[in-house]
Each structure stands twice: as structure tokens, then as C-alpha cells.
A and B are shown apart, each in its own frame.
Chain A
Amino acid sequence: LSAPAELEGWTGHDVTVADIERQIAGLRQASAARTDGPDLRTSVMTHMAWVPEEWVDAAHETLGGLAERHPSRTILLVPDPDAESGLDADLSLRCFPLHEHHGHVCSEVIELRLRGDRTRAPASIVTPLLISDLPAFLRWRGRPPFGEPELVQLVDVVDRLIVDSAEWPDLPEAYGELVEVFDSTAVSDIAWGRGLLWRRELALSWPRISEVRELHVAGPRADALLLVGWLRSRLGRPVRLAHEDADALAAVALDGEAVSPPRGEDRSASDLLSEELDRFGRDPVYEDAVRAAHV
């Protein structure tokens, strides 16, 4: 995958949504004028991300690996509730050459800093910026404030909420709050995506695995909880979890017997997010696993 050919940008302090729309249109015109052939705006989805300050670098890194595979309008919302009220915008256009074509395909990145009381009603800021008739995905960085207005509002305008429960400090309790969201929107969990290859591997142990009493997991706590939740819910019986903390899912054992590691490459944060953006409906197997992980 090639790097962006063009990077157009604009930064504004204390802006309005109308300013943003006008400037984005201006960037597109400028980009088209500088390149040979038309610049197409891709029309796949609006990708929105709620990114508290401490997650900004990680979010940029993920976005860098994502843009070519899911070109879309991305709206990064960076809340800064303690600052003076206002809205700052950092706009950029990322254009990629189209093979065998003249012209480029471009995706727009709108980074908004929501200052002071502007953090209270984020949906009213992003709704006018959603691309009509396309699905909207919300990636929530860090622990979502379940029940708080900013989350409730944004969940209301998107088709799917994407979290990474490995970013949450209070597991498994937080899963208890997450299940409350299931009836409002479809949820994806990147921690669940990370465990897919292991789940496939474990499924091959059927029917021996049906009698398992203890699952030992060396890996992030979220990944371990979801894995045991999955086994409990699918097998319909209690399974004890023995967890050993590690940065990545490194080893799994069933009743003390090691499971051979799955064949497959480590996927980057961008790959994992990209996979979640391909899904639309609810995932009942995941939802059951979360409920059982919380038990």
C-alpha cells in the first residue's frame, strides 16, 4: 500500500461547522487543481473517534495504517473539558494515487478539539458533518463513560460502537455496563478480534474441550476474560480462569495442557480496527461472551 500522494491541510481556532465544511471543500478543489485528473472522494463510511488527549498519538498511528483500506471521512473528537469554550479544527485531505487511473482517491480527516462546554453536546457538532446515507462508526478510545451524555448522544448517531476493552482499567466490572449498550447499537471489541485465531484453534479441540474445567491464559486481561466468557457461554457450563498478565495473547492451556499457538500473523491495531469496520450487524456470540465474562 502506497503512502498518500498529497496532503492538504488547514487549521482554524474557534471555528464553526460551516467554516469546516467550506474549508474542506476548498481543500478538495485545491487538491484537484494540482493533480492530473479528478480527485474522487471515497464513499464508504464516516469513521468517528472519541480520543481523549492521552490517546491522540495512538489514534493518529492507527489512522495512518487505516486510511487506504477504509478511506472515509474521519472525524476525530478530542475533548478538553477544562479549557475555555470553543471549537478548534485541524483538517487534512489524504489522497492516494489510483492505479491505472489518472487522479486520486481522497479521504478527509477532521480533527476537532472540543473545548469547555462544547464537550457536552458532541453529537450536535458531528451530525452535520456525517456523510449522508453512509454508515457511521464510532471508535471510543479508553474507558467509555457508560450512561454519560457524550457517549449516549454519539451512540445515538452511529451504526456501530467500537471499543478495545483492553484499554479499560476496571475489568470485568466494566463489562456489566457494556452489556447495557447492546440493545442501543452494535458493538465491536478489538480485544475480541485479537482472540479470533485462538478461538478458531480452541474450536478444533471439540469434543474434548466440552469437559474443560480451567482455562489458563497468558495475555491481556480483557483478552483472557473474553476467551473464558466465550467458552462458558458456548459450552453452557462454568470454566475457571487462571490469568497471567502479558502484553499479547501468548499462551493458552486447557486443564494444564498447552494449546498449540494458532497459525497466523500478528495483526496491527489498524488491521484490527479495519476488520471491525467491515462488520455491520450485532455479534450475538460476542455479546454472550461479554455477559459470561462478567459473571
Chain B
Amino acid sequence: MARVVEQQPENPLLAGLRLRRTPEPCALVIFGASGDLTQRKLIPALYSLAFRRLLPENFGVVGVARTEASTEEFIERMEEAVKEHGRDEFRQDVWDALAEGMRYVATDFADEGGEDVVVEVLNELDRERGTAGNRVHYLAVPPAAMSTLIRELGERRGREGWTRLIIEKPFGRDLGSARSLNQQLAEHFTEDEVFRIDHYLGKETVQNMLALRFANGIFEPVWNRQFIDHVQITVAESLGIGGRASFYEESGAIRDIFQNHLLQLVALTAMEPPIDFTADSVRNEKVKVLRSLHTPGPKNVVRGQYGPGFIEGVEVPGYREEEGVAPDSATETYFAAKLYVDNWRWADTPFYVRTGKRLPRRETTIAIQFKRAPHPPFEETAADGLRPNVLLVHVQPDEGVSLAIGAKVPGQGMSIRTVHMDFLYGGAFRTGLPEAYERLILDAMLGDATLFTRTDEVEEQWSLVDAITASWPRDRPSFPNYAAGSWSPPSADELIHRDGRSWRRH
């Protein structure tokens, strides 16, 4: 006889309540907690989430690193970090509530068994703070430690609750190592438990690219090869390598920025509209773009390395003079390329991308340059000051969007000049933009992977990087080839001038 199942009626009180997404109770474990990222970004992000009451009530943070320190010392250092780097005013009550659930474990997590002590602390947190066996492990560790840590975490995952892994870049250093990491992860975790972070995707302005394209009727019809002449994407940094010489010598600009941030910006600019805003729909479209990227030949790629120069009036050394860098280093600190997205929408439309260190200023922009008006009916001289329309997305700083248009200069006669229509986040909304890490940590706690990189995306990215760098070991580039404080090596200008175009003016 069929069993009658009594259906629970839907709760009518929930209608219109605008319930905020709140994560389930959980503990966040930061591996590599003595590093710069934890102090500058992760703990300040957690404080901002606590400040806005976005963290679950039952929550704990476990910092794990090799450095010997007590929990009290760790908390004290993190409090200073929040005061220095936090975006919100410091409130002692908010901090105290967060710090109450904080623990520190000094252990070598790369060692077999190094994880046991962490598991003990987590079990203790479950009992004391009600974190229910739910874990978010944040892996901000050197590549050499990643493999052991993944295995240790996989073997020790608890029977109760869920486990998620946030993995900081670099995710491998080539296709082979990325695949091997993915395979290791797959042995212990499912894809929806793995959150490969690219903090650019957590930036409001990067997400605004999706809003700009898919929430406005006027852009999408002209977002294609018929109307767009080319796209320029710039990720410029004025800083040098800081204390990261050993990392940077291994990675260079192509692995540090191009493989992840720049290719993600290309994908968001070029992707087709997703059917909805779920993780798989968005990532499916992005991966199609990455698959369509044509490998640029050597002529369409430029490498550079900075020599001595001046940044904001201060004399700075060249890359080879930086501490920890080989005096004959061939590592690139500048990378530019002309890419083509081989599909119906973008065929023959170049995407010029560039990134570099010690450039004159910090700036990340996506510039969509439209084709010129076919036949301006003005005297030739009238339009001297006229440049093509450019839709410029300022990712940072000056977050916003501006559109360059031609306008008549007031006065007798007809003279036309390019002016900008600006939308600045600060001007329109006046609320501070959340830090990328706030959004991403919260999303991982909620299990929303939309803004994280999927296995196939990361493999497509590395496959392109491998194809570009295949010939590099055989070359001896003539470095340094640009001065710190200048925009690029001359060959980067030649790359774009050959096509009758030029890099955007700054």
C-alpha cells in the first residue's frame, strides 16, 4: 500500500523578507597565516564581514603557519593588521567577537602528520563554538607545500559537515603541474568543493562588466567585430617585486598576471551571454572563450624587463639589481600580446593585452575601441581632435566606466573634440566598494563558485601559456629593455603600431 506523505506547507511568512544569504556555521582554516596576504587581506576581509554581520553566528578562524606564536600573539598581530589595513572603522566589540573564535597553530603543514594538531583544534572549535564540522580551508601556501597539504586534508576530512578548499594562486606553473594538482584534488574532493581563487573576479568593477554588458540593451548589439575595432586590456603596476624575488623569478609576468587575471578579463569581455548567473553557466561561457583563443606567434608577443628608473620622482633599481634576483635573470616583468578570439563574434578583432611592473602608475582598464564613424560630414580640420569612441572600464583605480564621444566645441563654426561621459562608482553610489576577498570568502562559505575558476578554465589558461612560452628557453632576450617608470619596451609599441593602432594614451 502506498504510504501517504504529509507535505509541509510552504512558509508564507518568508514572502518579501529579502533574506540575506548567511553561511552555515563553519570554521575557516588559513594555511600560511603568517604571510602578508593574511594580514593585509584575509583578516581585514573577515573583520569587514563581521562588521556587517555577514558571518555565521557559530564561526571560528584557525591560523596555521610554521612560525612559532601563541594564539594570543596571533590575535594581537591580526588586530593591528585590521587597524592598519581594514576599510571599516575599528570597533572593539566587533573585533572581540571575531577574535574569540580565533586560534593559532604552529606546525609544518607540509610534513606528514602536521595536520593532526590542526584537526584537534578544529574538533575543539566544533565543541566550543558550534562550527558543526564544516570547514573552509584557505590554502595560501607555497607551491611546494600544496601537494602534501591537499593529500593530508583529503585523508583527514571529517565524517560530519562539509569541507571546501579555497586555493590561492599560483595554481601550478604550467599545464602539467596544474593537471597534476587537479588530479590530486579530484582524488579527495569534488569540483564543487574546490574554489580556485582569482581575486580579480571578486572585484566589483570586474563583475560590473557583466552588468554593463548584459543588463543594458544598448551595448550588446554593438559588442562584436562589426562595430568594435579592437580591445585593449591593461594591468599595470608601479610597484616592483617587493620581497617576492624567489616567487617572481619562477613565474614572471606571464604566470603572475597573464595566466589568471588578464585571461579572466579577456574571457569576461568576450564571452557570450550566459543563460543565467549560476556558477556553471557563467564558467561554461568563459571557458568557450579561452578555448577559442588563438595562440599568438612570436611576432605577436612582447617580453620586457625593467631597468633602473624613476617612479614618482624616486630612483628605483632595475629588476636584476633587486634583492634575490639573478644578475643575468631572463625573467620577464612585462608581457604584451595580440590575441584573437576565433569565433563568430570576434573573428579578426584583436585583443591587445599588456601587463608590467614598474610602469608609471597602477592601473587596470579594459578599453573597447569602436570603429570610426564611416563618413563624418565635417571639414577635415573640424575633426582633428576627434578620436574613435572608446568605452573604458576602469577596474582600478577610479572604479567606473567612461565613454569617449565626439562633441562640438562651443563657439562659431564646427570644431569637434573628444569628451568623456563618466560613471564613477564613488560618484553614483557613495558606499565603499567591498574588497574582493570579502565577497570571495563569503561566496566560498556559501558554496557559490560563480566567481572562482573551474578545472577546465585553469587548464585552458595554462595550455595557452605553455604554447606561448614553449620557445622561450631557447632565447636570450636582450634585457633590460624598458626603464622603470616608462610604459613599455619599444617592441610593445611596434606590436600595435604595425596594425596602424596605438596603445591608449594615459
A105 touches B17 (CB 8 A): no
Contact bitstring B233-255, A, C-beta under 8 A = 1, else 0: 00000000000000000000000
Pick the contact of A101 from B13, B14, B424 — CB < 8 Å?
Answer: B424
A29 CB, min distance to chain B CBs, angstroms: 15
Q: Which of B426-441 contact A (CB under 8 A)?
A: 426-432
Complex interface: chain A residues within 8 A of B19 (CB): 200
Pick the contact of B430 from A71, A199, A285 — CB < 8 Å?
Answer: A71
A286 touches B430 (CB 8 A): no
Pick the contact of A207 from B8, B17, B427 — CB < 8 Å?
Answer: B8
Q: How far is the CA of A206 from the CA of B53 in the complex (A)?
A: 24
Complex interface: chain A residues within 8 A of B429 (CB): 44
Q: Which of B363-389 contact A (CB under 8 A)?
A: none
A58 CB, min distance to chain B CBs, angstroms: 22
B16 touches A286 (CB 8 A): yes
Q: How far is the CA of A83 from the CA of B419 in the complex (A)?
A: 49
Nearest-CB residue, chain A, relative to B53: A264
* A246: Cβ under 8 A from any B Cβ: no
Complex interface: chain A residues within 8 A of B422 (CB): 40
Complex interface: chain B residues within 8 A of A285 (CB): 15-16
Contact bitstring B1-44, A, C-beta under 8 A = 1, else 0: 00000001101111111110000000000000000000000000
Nearest-CB residue, chain B, relative to A236: B12
Nearest-CB residue, chain B, relative to A209: B13
B400 CB, min distance to chain A CBs, angstroms: 9
Complex interface: chain A residues within 8 A of B427 (CB): 40, 42, 71, 98, 105
B53 touches A265 (CB 8 A): yes
B424 touches A283 (CB 8 A): no
* B398: Cβ under 8 A from any A Cβ: yes
* A140: Cβ under 8 A from any B Cβ: no
Complex interface: chain A residues within 8 A of B53 (CB): 263-265
* A69: Cβ under 8 A from any B Cβ: yes
Contact bitstring A52-79, B, C-beta under 8 A = 1, else 0: 0000000000000000111100000000
Q: How far is the CA of A11 from the CA of B277 in the complex (A)?
A: 51
A199 touches B424 (CB 8 A): no
Complex interface: chain B residues within 8 A of A96 (CB): 430
Pick the contact of A203 from B8, B14, B428, B431 — CB < 8 Å?
Answer: B14
* B272: Cβ under 8 A from any A Cβ: no
Nearest-CB residue, chain B, relative to A205: B13
* A257: Cβ under 8 A from any B Cβ: no
A69 with B16, Cβ < 8 A, contacts A203-B11, A263-B53 known: no
B17 touches A98 (CB 8 A): no
A101 touches B16 (CB 8 A): no
A202 touches B426 (CB 8 A): no
Interface residue tally for chain A (C-beta within 8 Å): 35
A68 with B13, Cβ < 8 A, contacts A207-B8, A264-B53, A265-B53 known: no
Q: How far is the CA of A99 from the CA of B430 in the complex (A)?
A: 10
Q: How far is the CA of A151 from the CA of B15 in the complex (A)?
A: 30
Q: Which of A166-207 contact B (CB under 8 A)?
A: 196, 199-200, 202-203, 206-207
Q: How far is the CA of A49 from the CA of B53 in the complex (A)?
A: 32
A235 touches B12 (CB 8 A): yes
Complex interface: chain A residues within 8 A of B9 (CB): 207
Q: Which of A92-145 contact B (CB under 8 A)?
A: 96, 98-101, 105
Q: Which of A233-277 contact B (CB under 8 A)?
A: 234-236, 263-265
Complex interface: chain A residues within 8 A of B432 (CB): 99
Pick the contact of B397 from A1, A42, A100 — CB < 8 Å?
Answer: A100
* A81: Cβ under 8 A from any B Cβ: no
Complex interface: chain B residues within 8 A of A236 (CB): 12
Complex interface: chain B residues within 8 A of A26 (CB): none
B8 touches A43 (CB 8 A): no
Nearest-CB residue, chain A, relative to B431: A69
Q: How far is the CA of A80 from the CA of B16 in the complex (A)?
A: 39
Beyond A105-B427, A206-B14: 18 further Cβ-contacts under 8 Å?
A: A42-B428, A42-B430, A68-B430, A70-B430, A98-B424, A99-B432, A100-B398, A100-B426, A101-B397, A200-B17, A200-B19, A207-B9, A231-B13, A234-B13, A235-B12, A263-B53, A265-B53, A286-B16
7 sampled A-B residue pairs with Cβ under 8 A: A42-B427, A105-B430, A206-B11, A207-B11, A234-B13, A265-B53, A284-B16
Residues of B within 8 A of A (CB): 8-9, 11-19, 53, 57, 397-398, 422, 424, 426-432
- 9 nearest A-B residue pairs (beta carbon): A285-B16, A203-B13, A206-B11, A98-B426, A100-B397, A105-B427, A40-B427, A234-B12, A68-B430
